[in-house]
Structure 1
Amino acid sequence: MAPTVAIVGAGPCGLTLARLLECRGVDYVVYERDESEVSNRRGGSLDIHAGTGQLALKEAGLFDEFKKHARYEDTSFTIANQQGERVFRKNAGQGRDAPEIDRILLRQILLDSIPKEKVRWNHVLKSVTLEQDGHHILQFTNGSSASGFKLVVGADGAWSKVRPSITPAKPQYSGNHYIESRINPESPHYPTMVSKIGAGSFMSLGSSKEIVTQRQGNGSYRIYLGVTVPEDFVRGGTVNLEDTESTRRLFLSSEYFGNWAEELKDLIRYSEDFRSWPLYYMDPETLRWDSVPGLTLVGDAAHVAVPNGEGVNCAMADALSLASKIATYGTDALNRAVAEYEEDMFRRGVEHIKDGLQMATLIRHKDGPDALISFFETAMENAAQASA
């Protein structure tokens, strides 16, 4: 007998759903593209919010384990202009309950909470087809297939292979790229970073570009160079990220960050292991469909957005909402559970996408950080008034 629910994707969203179904006694299986739980994929640090990600972890019985590894000191946040002048600072503990945790570590906490036999590694989904009996067949690139599930949940990210069976909508390129790199504790520049940047995140804005620095759980710093470039900027050969020196020279040129403060250019001079992260989002107008029996989407598969600090939290809220609806209506009324979950998800997803687009506009504003700071200050004032 096939499990009741198939979850495609073992990221934080898919594994949160798996754990919540485990707690509720619903049979499931997770299919994951990685060859094993020792993943080679990179993942930065995630801030887990009280009303969404943390709530899901509490419902999953994992909040105490999360707190053992959560970095509350890394909630500090600084904004500077391109001359390196610090113009905004929010210290850790100043009313923001969003501790950081490395994505890989969060994934491991979730993996450790479900039986190992529930995860099928090395299963890259190729396609989803519909059987005559109404069930869906999952076809994998390793030649295997699986079917008989009452529900298939696509938790397989922005380029979901489950999505085409539900909606023709596809992610679209935002026009922006992050070029990601890192500075490790072994770097000669590391002591300077510790003294000047310290814990948390540091964002420098100017000339419609950005440099973001974020401390990781092992003490290293992840660097993101935010630039507006064509979609094929890397694939088309404009930059060869495997050539570290030429990549540094390109981004230190006048076309990119050449006229920025020396302190900020040092973040490029000492960066290593450059990688590309083009930013995509779903058109919020397309985030609605007639519910398809036996199929649904969660997380980025449903509503990928440009970064706004809410991505994993919105995804974990999806997992909690879907698991709760399944628990309410039971596995014999999954279509009703899914339909109600999707109505909840559509509202949350549209807001998430629009927030991401607004944040991108503020971050890349031609006047530098002033627009973003004004936004933050207004948000803090509104929050203070709401709590008064």
Structure 2
Amino acid sequence: MPRPPISIVGAGISGLTLSRCLQRRKIPFVLYERDTSEQISKRHNYAITISQRSRESLISDAGLDAMTLNGTFVDPSSSSGEGRKSVRVNRRKLESALRQGLEGANYGWKTQDVKLPASGSGGKATVLFENGEQTPNGSIIIGADGAHSAIRKATAPEAEFTIHPFPTFNGKRRLQRSVYEAQIAPHVSDLNQILEHKSGHSIFGISIDDVKDENVDLSYTYSRPRHPAGEADALYTPDRPNSGAKEMPPEFYEEISTLHPSLPAPFNLIFDPEALRKDRLLSWLMRSVLVPRERLADAAGKGVVLVGEAVHLTPILGSYGANEGIEDAVALA
């Protein structure tokens, strides 16, 4: 009797990389993704850093063509990634490239529940989806469903988020290409597409996300340590719900307004207080999670394996999570 296909839950970078690796090895799998195809086409329009090792893994193990990978660069006109320690790619473009030619993918399948067998029973876990379907009986389940992993919550419920004491705010903006070339590009190079400025304990960051003919997409961050214990800090809200990420406290704009006069170019352009009010802003929580080794062993005994940010999440600011997800997938395949 043939073995059931491997069930991969989550079509982010780790899930897509693993799927491609398995497909190249002719190992049957089914990929399940919460978001619909339309939702996927609109998400993750930001830049991430891919190390030379991960770049080589995407080409040699996941079978991604080098020219296709180069086309995901933040600036497609930049040089090839050959010989460079790292490259900046647009995550939406990279995931799109990884989906090309991929078979066995199901989109719009949101996890509803995870059924776990009793320890030592020899049974395998089953994932139930909101559409009434479920993973095949006896299938190995790969939890590649990211930071808020439903698979992790079921197999290691005690592995809760650690919130680090750094209020962080992220915004996005689209500039006309002419404005970008005149005011941002002089500060950017092929090897440096992340700009950073420190003002006391505060850090201002600008990331180039996608360079196109008519316009340029960029994102920016403002971060600092929380105020000393006992001192009120309206910007630090570790207990807020996920829905509270879009709520900007008035104190945020006041703080930026105080610091803005001393900002050099191009930070004074991007962090203009009035311009910020027109952008899509989010309050980020600097979260981390590490699942205990014994929990991973117990989950594996029930046919469940976690990869990427589902198992070892690091704070989003300065994170190399995409690289860890790629290497997890390659090692597992």
TM class, shorter-chain normalised?
Answer: 0.7 to 0.9
Is contact 1:123-1:140 (8 Å) kept?
Answer: yes
Q: Does structure 1 residue 193 correspond to structure 2 residue 184?
A: yes
Give 1:178 shift: 3.1
Aligned twin of 1:356: none
Q: Are the structure 2 counterparts of residues 53 and 250 from structure 1 closer, same or farther at C-alpha, using a change threshold of 3 Å?
A: farther
Cα deviation for residue 15 of structure 1 reads 0.4
TM-score (ref. length: structure 1)? 0.67
Give the drift of 1:69. 1.1
Q: Report percent identity of matched pairs.
A: 21
Partner of 2:198: 205
1:45 to 2:47 alignment: yes
Shift, 1:110, TM fit: 0.8
SS in 1 for 2:137: coil
**2:27 corresponds to:** 26
Query: 1:71 maps to which residue?
Result: 73
Looking at secondary structure, tell me which structure has more strand per residue.
Answer: 2
Residue 240 of structure 1, aligned match among 241, 247, 260: 247
Residue of structure 2 in register with 1:161 after alignment:
150
Listed as ranges, the matches of 1:308-323 within 5 Å are 308-323=318-333
**CA displacement at 1:158 relative to structure 2:** 1.2
Say if 1:233 and 1:159 are closer, same or farther in 2 by CA, change over 3 A: closer
Tell me what 2:232 maps to.
Answer: none
Q: Which residue of 2 aligns with 1:377?
A: none
1:214 aligns with 2:207: yes
Aligned partners of 1:127 and 1:184: how far apart in 2?
39
Which letter maps to 2:63? G
- Counterpart-to-counterpart distance in 2, 1:184 and 1:174: 30
Give me the whole-angstrom Cα distance separating, in 1, the residues matched to 2:243 and 2:114: 31
Counterpart among 125, 130, 135 of residue 141 in structure 1: 130
Out of 249, 265, 268, the position equivalent to 1:265 is 268
Q: Is the 8 A contact 1:183 1:220 kept in 2?
A: yes
The counterpart of 1:305, out of the listed 297, 303, 314, is 314
Counterpart residue identity of residue 29, structure 1: V
Indicate the structure whose relative CO is greater, using CA pairs within 8 Å and at least 6 residues apart: 2
Q: Aligned Cα RMSD in Å?
A: 3.4
Cα separation, partners in 2 of 1:64 and 1:56, compared to 1, 3 Å: closer
Q: 1:262 to 1:234 in 2, by over 3 A?
A: farther
User: Deviation at 1:98?
Assistant: 1.1
Match for 2:282 among 275, 278, 284? 275
More off after superposition, 7-16 vs 167-176 = 167-176
Q: Which runs of 5+ in 2 are unaligned?
A: 226-235
Task: Specify the SS of the correspondent of 1:150.
Answer: coil
Q: Which moved more, 1:212-221 or 1:58-67?
A: 58-67
Q: Which residue of 2 aligns with 1:361?
A: none
Gaps of 5+ in 1: 77-91, 324-388
SS at match of 1:217: strand
- Provide Cα deviations, 1:3-61, integer angstroms capped at 9, x if missing partner: 42111100011000000000011111111111115523234112211223432432121
Instruction: Name the residue aligned to 1:11.
Output: 12
By how many angstroms is 1:142 displaced? 3.6
Give TM-score scaled by structure 2 length.
0.77
Specify the alignment match of 1:82 in structure 2: none
Q: Which residue of 1 aligns with 2:254?
A: 250
Aligned length, in residue pairs: 300
In structure 1, C-alpha distance between the alignment counterparts of 2:221 and 2:326, rounded to whole Å: 24
Matched letter for residue 273 of structure 1:
R
Matched-pair contact (CA < 8 Å) for 1:72–1:98: no
Equivalent residue letter for 1:128: V
Task: Summarize the alignment of residues 105-144 of structure 1 with structure 2, pairs less than 5 Å apart.
Answer: 105-115=93-103, 118-130=104-116, 134-144=123-133
